[in-house]
């Protein structure tokens, strides 16, 4: 090859490399992949508001109001385990600035309270309880502080970084760190300019395996609402350049759906409270969401490829009430009973190319490592054939997100024993887990065709269930 041809060839190779880099599909980190597998865990809003009956504390509350005389973090963990939750995230510092651990960076903490004569430490007790019960431990820490005298000055960024260093040094491992983007006035009437870059660098240095939540990540994003629902179209990818948590975040619609060509893998977490409020209020004891309502939230969060973060606030005694625990156990029972029997389990998988059927790698065997790739070739689809007619009203699809999220539009055909189409369902994204419900039908096979995608869609599992009629997504 002469020098001129070699130069042209090198330019073509470089051009292809650059193009591939520009359009490479974002993929989850190992930590994000593990986070996706968590699906459902608990939020615990707990602090002075629990005792003052407020939702947003003013920062002027006397420390002595915090006094959970029978606090039992192991009880929290037992309830979480009974509910099938896989972790707990605690509000270590809410907007009022009160710290549930004796930080040296504030004088508004458990150390100044009457609880345990100022020798108590909620984070220490909860961290130990989570380890004992095999639950992941997460921490919410609000940058807004309505109590700290340095809030609104550059010195406060040092304070916040110092607090985070204490958290990771004394209470780790911390699986998820939750940043609230709220930014109001402090006791001096000033607002803080948060140093988000420094905050992120601090976490990455101290605990690189911790996933960080805020409106825009960097690892997990807010779903754009506090009703616990992800978008019916839900991309795990998001463009965050030029945005910040809080007022400078993307629109709630964008956060709810993600970006179809998002630059970064930042999946959605759906936060919602089991009660109308986030902190415990006795007047709400009869307003706890029912197991059926929680199941609906599950369908609209986990069932749309997001995770469900359900707030269950302890009361003034430091315990989860029977009202909440009963609803949580009922929620667990509904999930266990309705997803106990996969009707498609061990059914034959086939690949359709036009009118030609070929036996395919099983995607109904309960093994999420076996996969089938679906391209946009004409009339290509993956199907599952049952030996005899079965009644179903729920289909669950799993996409291999290790390869990125690729499906942008799909079609599902349900066939009867005469090979006639009796139902056609259209949707957009799949993601790690996608639950589709519909009125009951008797079918003998199901086919999935991808109508739009970034790259070939990789399906890991297709499941079918018959769930109770009153649980169908509304």
Is 439 exposed, middle or buried (CB count within 10 Å of its CB: 0-12, 13-18, 19+)?
Answer: exposed
Q: How long a stretch of residues is the chain?
A: 474
Q: Is 416:422 a contact under the CB 8 Å cutoff?
A: yes
Phi first, then psi, for residue 379 (nearest 5°) are 60, 30
Other C-beta atoms lying within 10 Å of the C-beta of residue 141:
21
Q: Is 274:324 a contact under the CB 8 Å cutoff?
A: yes
Q: How would DSSP label each residue in 172-241? A: ---SEEEE-------TTSPPP---HHHHHHHHHHH-TT-EEEETT-SSEEE-SSSSS---SS--SEE--T
Q: What is the pLDDT of residues 69-105, one digit of tens each?
A: 999 999 999 999 999 999 999 999 999 999 999 999 9
User: What is the C-alpha separation between 304 and 256, in angstroms, rounded?
Assistant: 11
The full set of domains in the chain, from first to last, is 30-338 (3.20.20.80), 348-471 (2.60.120.260)
Give the torsion through C-alpha atoms of 217, 220, 223, 225, to 10 deg.
Answer: -70
pLDDT at 15: 39
Secondary structure (3-state) at 140: strand
* Residues of the chain falling short of pLDDT 50: 1, 5-22
Element (H, E) at 168: helix 154-171
pLDDT at 380: 82
Helix pair 73-83, 322-338: axis angle to 10 deg: 30
Is 162 exposed, middle or buried (CB count within 10 Å of its CB: 0-12, 13-18, 19+)?
Answer: middle
Residues 6+ positions from 274 with CB-CB distance below 8 Å: 288, 289, 294, 310, 311, 312, 324, 327, 328
pLDDT at 351: 87
Full-model pTM = 0.94
> Which tokens in the block code for residue 140?
């919410």
Q: What is the pLDDT of residues 245-294, one digit of tens each?
A: 999 999 999 999 999 999 999 999 999 999 999 999 999 999 999 999 99
DSSP state, residue 291: H
pLDDT at 9: 42
Residues 6+ positions from 17 with CB-CB distance below 8 Å: none
pLDDT at 2: 53
Is 380 exposed, middle or buried (CB count within 10 Å of its CB: 0-12, 13-18, 19+)?
Answer: middle
Q: What is the pLDDT of residues 323-377, one digit of tens each?
A: 999 999 999 999 999 999 999 998 999 988 888 888 988 999 999 888 988 887 7
pLDDT at 19: 38
């Amino acid at each position: 090859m002469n020098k001129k041809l070699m130069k042209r060839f090198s330019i073509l190779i470089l051009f292809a490399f650059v193009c591939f880099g520009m359009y490479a599909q974002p993929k989850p980190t190992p930590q994000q992949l593990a986070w996706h597998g968590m699906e459902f865990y608990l939020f615990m809003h707990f602090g002075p508001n629990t005792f003052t009956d407020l939702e947003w504390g003013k920062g002027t509350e006397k420390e002595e109001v915090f006094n959970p005389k029978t606090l039992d973090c192991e009880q929290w963990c037992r309830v979480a385990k009974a509910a099938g939750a896989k972790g707990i995230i605690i509000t270590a510092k809410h907007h009022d600035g009160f710290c549930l651990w004796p930080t040296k960076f504030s004088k508004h903490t458990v150390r100044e309270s009457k609880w345990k004569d100022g020798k108590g430490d909620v984070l220490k007790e909860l961290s130990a309880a989570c380890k004992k019960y095999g639950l992941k431990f997460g921490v919410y820490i609000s940058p807004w502080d309505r109590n700290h005298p340095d809030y609104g000055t550059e010195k406060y960024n040092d304070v916040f970084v110092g607090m985070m260093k204490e958290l990771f040094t004394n209470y780790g491992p911390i699986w998820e760190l939750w940043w609230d983007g709220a930014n109001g006035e402090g006791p001096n009437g000033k607002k803080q300019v948060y140093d988000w870059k420094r905050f992120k660098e601090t976490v990455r240095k101290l605990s690189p395996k911790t996933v960080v939540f805020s409106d825009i990540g960097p690892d997990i994003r807010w779903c754009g609402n506090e009703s616990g629902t992800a978008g019916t179209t839900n991309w795990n990818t998001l463009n965050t350049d030029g945005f910040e948590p809080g007022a400078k975040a993307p629109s709630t619609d964008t956060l709810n759906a993600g970006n179809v060509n998002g630059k970064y893998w930042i999946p959605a977490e759906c936060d919602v409270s089991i009660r109308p409020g986030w902190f415990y209020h006795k007047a709400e004891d009869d307003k706890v969401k029912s197991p059926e309502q929680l199941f609906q939230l599950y369908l609209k969060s986990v069932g749309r490829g997001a995770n469900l973060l359900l707030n269950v606030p302890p009361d003034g005694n430091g315990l989860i009430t029977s009202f909440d625990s009963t609803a949580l156990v009922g929620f667990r029972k509904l999930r266990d009973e309705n997803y106990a029997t996969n009707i498609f389990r061990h059914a034959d998988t086939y690949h359709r190319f036009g009118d030609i059927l070929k036996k395919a790698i099983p995607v109904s065997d309960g093994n999420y490592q076996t996969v089938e790739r679906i391209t946009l070739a004409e009339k290509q689809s993956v199907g599952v054939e049952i030996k005899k007619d079965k009644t179903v009203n729920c289909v669950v699809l799993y996409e291999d997100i290790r390869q990125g999220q690729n499906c942008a539009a799909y079609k599902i055909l349900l066939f009867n024993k005469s090979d006639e189409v009796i139902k056609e369902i259209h949707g957009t994204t799949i993601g790690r887990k996608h639950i589709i419900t519909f009125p009951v039908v008797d079918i003998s096979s199901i086919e999935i065709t991808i109508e739009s995608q970034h790259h070939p869609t990789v399906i890991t599992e297709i499941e079918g269930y018959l769930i109770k009629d009153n649980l169908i997504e509304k």
